[in-house]
Amino acid sequence: MIRFILIQNRAGKTRLAKWYMQFDDDEKQKLIEEVHAVVTVRDAKHTNFVEFRNFKIIYRRYAGLYFCICVDVNDNNLAYLEAIHNFVEVLNEYFHNVCELDLVFNFYKVKENTSSGQTGQSHVFAVP
Amino acid sequence: MVASSLKLQDLIQEIREAKTQAQEREVIQKECAHIRASFRDGDPLHSHRQLAKLLYVHMLGYPAHFGQMECLKLIASPRFTDKRVGYLGAMLLLDERQDAHLLITNSIKNDLSQGIEAVQGLALCTLSAMGSAEMCRDLAPEVEKLLLQPSPYVRKKAVLTAVHMIRKVPELSDIFLPPCAQLLHERHHGILLGTVTLITELCERSPAALQHFRKALPSLQVVPQLVHTLRTLVMTGCSTEHSVSGVSDPFLQVQILRLLRILGRNHEESSETMNDLLAQVATNTDTSRNAGNAVLFETVLTIMDIRSAAGLRVLAVNILGRFLLNSDRNIRYVALTSLLKLVQSDHSAVQRHRPTVVECLWEPDASLSRRALELSLALVNSSNVRAMTQELQGFLESCPPDLRPDCASGILLAAERFAPTKRWHIDTILRVLTTAGTYVRDDAVANLIQLIGGAQELHAYSVRRLYSALAEDISQQPLVQVAAWCIGEYGDLLLEGTCEETEPLQVEKEEVLALLERVLQSQMSLPATRGYALTALMKLSTRLHGDNNRICQVMSIYGSCQDVELQQRAVEYNALFRKYDHLRAAVLEKMPLVERGGPQVDEEAKESKEVAQLSEAAPVPTETQASKLLDLLDLLDGPSENAQHPPPLDPTPGDTLIHLLDLPCAPLPPAPIPNLKVFEREGLQLNLSFVRPPGTPTLLLITVTATNTSGGDVTHFICQAAVPKSFQLQLQAPSGDTVPAQGGLPMTQLLRILNPNKAPLRLKLRLTYDHFGQSVQEIFEVNNLPVETWQ
C-alpha cells in the first residue's frame, strides 16, 4: 500500500506531495526533509530502494526531479518502479514533453491523477 | 479590495522570482492577506482562483487552514470549475482531524446522486482520498449503487473508493462483497484492477471474506476466473492499449498474482488450480525489461507462498538465480532479499546459486553487500566450509566497518559448526583475529583459549603461529591476549624449536621475554591485556630454564604500578618469588581444561580455581591464595582471621569458591523443627517430623508417621508425595503397609528432599488405604510447613 508520493527537485523543493496516511503538518515537513536527505546522496551505483523508518522508499530520478513513492516493506519493488515510470509517461503525454515547470504551474492537474493509494489506471492514453 | 487578484500563474511566477526565503515569505504573506479578505467578502467569480493560490502556498509548506470553509462553499456551488478546486482543496486541507470535514458529507452525497460523470468522479476521488470512518459509513450505500453504473469511468472510481472504505471501516465488507463476483467479469482493465484490489483488501481484513472467495460455487468461481484472466493477458500478444514495454498490463498481472497468493495460501484446492498458470507465466514472460521482471518477481513470491508443487518451487529459485546474474542492481537486490527468505526452507535449491551470491559480496552498494553476506553465511555447510571461509575472509579484509562485526562473528560461528579439523579451526580464528581483531565479540578470546587448550597435539603449532603473529603486530587486543596466554602456558614448546607443521623457528628466551615486556609497556594494550602478559611472564619463570632475574625485575617494577589490578598481581607474584619459591612450580603448573560454558573469562578466577585445587596439598599457601581471593571479595578485615585456617577442602572446582566463602562463618547449630500433624481421619493420623542435617544445607529429611487409634486395621497403606519441580524427592521404603488398630506399631516412611534453590517448600501427599472395609483415597497439600524446613 502506498503511504505517500513525493516529487522533489534536487534542491529539496516539493513539486508534488500526496499523502495517503494521516500526518501532522510539521510531521509532513520533517518527512519531506528526511526523504530529501536520504535520496539525494545516492548515485547510480546504488539500488533504487531505500529502507526508511519502517517503510521503504522506491525512487527514480528523472533529470532534476526525484519521484519517490513510500510503500510498505512487503510490497513489490519492481512493480512500483514501473508505476513511477508509467506515471512519468502519462505526464509526458498530457503535457507534451513535460518538464519541471509544467509540474509547478499545473500542480492541481497532476494531483488528480493519483488516487486512493493504488495506481488507478493502466491506460496510458486516457486521463480523466 | 486593494489590488486585483493575481492569477495563479502570476503568483507562482512571483514566488519563484523571490531571491531569498524572507522575500518569498513576504510575497506569500501579502497574498494570503488578499485571499483572506476575499474569502471574507465573498467573491463568487474569483474565489476558485483564490483557493488555487492558497493550495499552492499550502504545498510549499505555509499554513492554509483558513481556506477550509471556502472549500465547502466552492464544493456546494453548481459550477464545475468551482467544484473542481473545492474538492481539491478538500483533499488537501480537510483531513480527518479537522472538525469541518463532516460538513462536506452532504455535498458529496448530492453530487454522487447527480448523474454527471465528471462531478461524480470528483466526489468519489475526494471521498477516497480523505473519507473518514463516519463519512464512509454514511456514503457506502451511494457508492455501492455507483458500482453498477453503466459508465466505466464512474465504476472505476467507485471501486477505488470502495477499497478506501474497506480500509477505513472493515465492517462495510458486507455491502461490498456481493458485487465483486460480477465485477470480475469486466473487460475494462481499470475496473478489473480496482476489483482485484478490492477483493485483496477484503480477504486481508476478514477471514470470512477469504473463505467466501475460496469456495468453488458455480456462481462464484473466483480463482478460476482470475486464472483465466491472467492467462489471457499472458498469452495474447501485447495489445497496445495496455502494454508497458512489451508486457500486457503488468500492473493488473501483478495484482492478480497477489490476490492468487492470498487465496492460495494454506489452501490445497486453490493452489492446485493455480499451478499450471504460474508455470506458464513464469516461462512466457519477457524478461528483457523491468516490467517483465516485476511480473516474474511477483510470480516467484506467489509460488513460494502457496502450496505449490516441488518442481514449481525449484523453478522459482532458478528464476531468482537468474535475477542474480542480471546486471541491474535493483533486480539483484530483490533476488537477494527473496533468497534470504527461502534459504531455510529450500536450502539445497539455493545452494546451487552460491557462487553468484558470493560474487555479490563485492557490490559497492551497502544494502546489497549486507544481504549477500547474510545469505552467504546462511549457505555455509560442511562440504563448502573451506571455500566459503576463504571467500568470507577475503571479504572481511576489505569490507566497510559497519559490516565487519557481523562478518567476523559469522565466520567464527561457521568455523565452530563445521570445522573439518582442529588445526583448520585454529588457523581460521587466528586469521580472523589478525584481520579484524577489534571487531570480534568478547567471548572469542575465551573460545579460542579453550579450543587450543583442548587440542593437545597442536600446542606447539599454535604457540608458534601465535608468537609470529604477535611479533608482527601487538595492536589487535584479542590476538595479543590469546598469544600472551599461549606463550605463558606453552613457552617451553616454543623454545624447543622442532615442529613439523610450521617452518622451524629459532626463538631465544630473551626474545620471548622482550616481546612480553613490549606488550606490557605498549600504549595500545588494554589493562586486561597487560594482566594476561604479566601472568604469562610469571608462568614462564617455571617453563623456561635459566635464571629469572629479568622476570623478577619486571615484577618488582610493576609492584608500584598505577593500575591496582596489575599492582596486586605483581605484588603477589613477587611474594611467590621471595617467600614461597618452593611452591612456585606447583602453583604455576599447566592449567587443566576449562569447562565450556562457564561464564569465567577472567584469568583471575581461573587461577584461583587452580590454586584452590592445590590448597589441600599445602595448607600454608592457602593463606596467601585465600587472602587473595577473599581480599578480592572483601569479606575479611585483615590477615589475622586467616590464622584460623580452613580445613582441607574437597577438590571439586565448582564448589571450592563457595566453600572458601563459607568458612569464616561459624556453622549454626541446627534448631529442632517442630513436628506437624497433617492428616486425621477416623482414627488414622499422619505426622511429619523434620530434620535438617547440619552438613548439607539443602537436604531435608521428613519422617512420615502413621498411627491408628481406631478399632479397625488400616491395610494396603500407600503414601505418595509430590514436590515442586525445583526440588528432588526420594521416597524410601516404608516400614510396612499395615497400621494395626488400637494404637499398634506406627508405620514410618522416610522422605529425602533436596532443595538446591532454597525455594519455599510445598508438599502434596496422596494416601490410599483400606479401612473398615472401604478403600479410601486422599490427596491433600500440607499447609503450615515451618519456615525452617527450607530456609
Q: Which of B50, B154, B160, B247 to mutate to test the interface with A (most CBs of A within 10 A)?
A: B160
- The residue that leads in pLDDT, B624 or A112, is A112
- Whether the per-residue pLDDT at A86 is higher than 50: the answer is yes
- Measured between alpha carbons, how far is B549 from B396 in angstroms, rounded to an integer? 43
Percent above pLDDT 70 for chain B: 86
* Top-confidence range, A18-22, B231-235, B528-532, B604-608: B528-532
- Measured between alpha carbons, how far is B353 from B340 in angstroms, rounded to an integer? 12
Residue the block writes with cell 584452590: B612
Mean pLDDT over residues A58-82, rounded? 87
Q: Residue B279, Cβ neighbours under 10 Å: how many?
A: 17
pLDDT at A111: 66
Cβ-count burial A3-14 (b if 16+ within 10 Å, e if not): bbbbbbbeeebb
Is the Cβ pair B163, A118 closer than 8 Å? Answer: yes
**Of the candidates B268, B273, B179, the residue with the CA atom closest to the CA atom of residue B225:** B273
pLDDT at B638: 37
Rounded-to-5 percentages of helix, strand, coil across chain B: 65, 10, 30
pLDDT at B499: 60
Is the Cβ pair B249, A120 closer than 8 Å? Answer: no
Residue of B nearest to A60 (CA): B330
- Measured between alpha carbons, how far is B227 from B232 in angstroms, rounded to an integer? 9
Question: Residue B226 has which C-alpha cell?
Answer: 482470475
Is the Cβ pair B331, A78 closer than 8 Å? Answer: yes
Question: Residue A34 has which C-alpha cell?
Answer: 528526511
Cβ-count burial B598-637 (b if 16+ within 10 Å, e if not): eeebebbbbbbbbbbbbbeeeeebbbbbbbbbbeeeeeee
Answer yes or no: is the ipTM higher than 0.90.
Answer: no
Q: How confident is the model at residue A125 (pLDDT cuts 50, 70, 90)?
A: very low
Contact between A86 and B244 under an 8 Å Cβ cutoff? The reply is yes
- Measured between alpha carbons, how far is B59 from B181 in angstroms, rounded to an integer? 41
Q: Does B176 touch chain A (CB under 8 A)?
A: no
Mean pLDDT over residues B580-586, rounded? 76
Question: Residue A93 has which C-alpha cell?
Answer: 503525454
Q: Does B301 touch chain A (CB under 8 A)?
A: yes
Contact between B246 and B289 under an 8 Å Cβ cutoff? The reply is yes
Residue type, B539: K
- Measured between alpha carbons, how far is B680 from B675 in angstroms, rounded to an integer? 15
pLDDT at B622: 40
Shortest alpha-carbon distance between residue A37 and chain B (Å): 17
- pLDDT (tens digit, 9 = 90+) per residue, B647-706? 333 334 444 444 444 444 444 445 567 788 888 888 888 888 888 887 777 888 888 888
DSSP state letters, B11-45: HHHHHHH--SHHHHHHHHHHHHHHHHHHHHH--TT
Which parts of B419-508 fold into alpha helices (H)? 422-436, 443-454, 459-472, 477-496
Mean pLDDT over residues B624-640, rounded? 40
Q: Who among B52, B91, B290 is closest to A82 (CB)?
A: B290
In which element (H, E) is residue B774 found? Answer: strand B774-782
Contact between A103 and A110 under an 8 Å Cβ cutoff? The reply is yes
- pLDDT (tens digit, 9 = 90+) per residue, B451-497? 887 777 778 788 888 888 888 877 788 888 888 888 888 877 777 76
- Whether the per-residue pLDDT at B199 is higher than 80: the answer is yes
User: What's the mean pLDDT when you consider all of chain A?
Assistant: 78
Which parts of B326-442 fold into alpha helices (H)? 329-342, 347-351, 354-359, 366-379, 385-398, 404-418, 422-436
User: What's the mean pLDDT when you consider all of chain B?
Assistant: 77
Cβ-count burial B459-480 (b if 16+ within 10 Å, e if not): bbbbbbbbbebbbeebebbbbb
* Top-confidence range, A34-38, A89-93, B351-355, B563-567: A34-38
- pLDDT (tens digit, 9 = 90+) per residue, B413-431? 888 888 888 888 888 888 8
pLDDT at B625: 44
- Whether the per-residue pLDDT at A91 is higher than 70: the answer is yes
Note the Cα B624 to chain centre separation in Å.
47
Is the Cβ pair B297, A76 closer than 8 Å? Answer: yes
Mean pLDDT over residues B44-73, rounded? 80
Determine the 3-state secondary structure of B594 from DSSP: coil
**Of the candidates B612, B604, B607, the residue with the CA atom closest to the CA atom of residue B590:** B607
Q: Does B583 touch chain A (CB under 8 A)?
A: no
- The residue that leads in pLDDT, A106 or B763, is B763
Contacts of B189 in chain A (CB under 8 A): 122-123
Residue of A nearest to B201 (CA): A1
Contact between B453 and B594 under an 8 Å Cβ cutoff? The reply is yes
- pLDDT (tens digit, 9 = 90+) per residue, B494-528? 777 666 666 666 777 788 888 888 888 887 778 88
- Helices B564-578 and B527-543 meet at what angle, rounded to 10? 10
Question: B22-26, B701-705, B756-760: lowest mean pLDDT where?
Answer: B756-760
Contact between B708 and B752 under an 8 Å Cβ cutoff? The reply is no
pLDDT at B621: 41
Q: How confident is the model at residue B575 (pLDDT cuts 50, 70, 90)?
A: confident
Determine the 3-state secondary structure of A70 from DSSP: strand
Contacts 24+ apart (CB under 8 A), B379-384: B379/B343, B379/B347, B379/B350, B379/B351, B379/B354, B380/B414, B380/B417, B380/B418, B381/B351, B381/B418, B382/B418, B382/B420, B384/B354
Q: Who among A22, A76, A115 is closest to B254 (CB)?
A: A76
Question: B50-64, B348-362, B587-601: lowest mean pLDDT where?
Answer: B587-601
pLDDT at B626: 41
pLDDT at B663: 42
Mean pLDDT over residues B536-540, rounded? 83
Tell the burial category of B312 from Cβ atoms under 10 Å away from its Cβ (0-12, 13-18, 19+).
buried
pLDDT at B219: 54
Mean pLDDT over residues B171-192, rounded? 79
* Top-confidence range, B21-30, B448-457, B536-545: B21-30
Contact between B756 and B698 under an 8 Å Cβ cutoff? The reply is yes
**Of the candidates B117, B112, B162, B116, the residue with the CA atom closest to the CA atom of residue B140:** B162
Shortest alpha-carbon distance between residue B293 and chain A (Å): 7
- Measured between alpha carbons, how far is B526 from B536 in angstroms, rounded to an integer? 15
pLDDT at B705: 86
Q: How confident is the model at residue B623 (pLDDT cuts 50, 70, 90)?
A: very low
pLDDT at B628: 46
On whether the pTM is more than 0.90, the answer is no
Shortest alpha-carbon distance between residue B184 and chain A (Å): 16
Mean pLDDT over residues B521-546, rounded? 81
- Whether the per-residue pLDDT at B446 is higher than 70: the answer is yes
Q: How confident is the model at residue B636 (pLDDT cuts 50, 70, 90)?
A: very low
Contacts of A121 in chain B (CB under 8 A): 156, 190
Which residues make Cβ contacts (< 8 Å) with residue B710, sequence separation at least 6?
B682, B683, B684, B741, B742, B771, B772
**Pairs of residues, one from chain A and one from chain B, whose beta carbons lie less than 8 Å apart:** 133
Question: Residue B302 has which C-alpha cell?
Answer: 506467489
* Top-confidence range, A81-85, A96-100, B12-16: A81-85
- pLDDT (tens digit, 9 = 90+) per residue, B297-334? 888 888 888 877 888 888 888 888 888 888 888 888 88
- Measured between alpha carbons, how far is B418 from B427 in angstroms, rounded to an integer? 14
Residue of B nearest to A87 (CA): B244
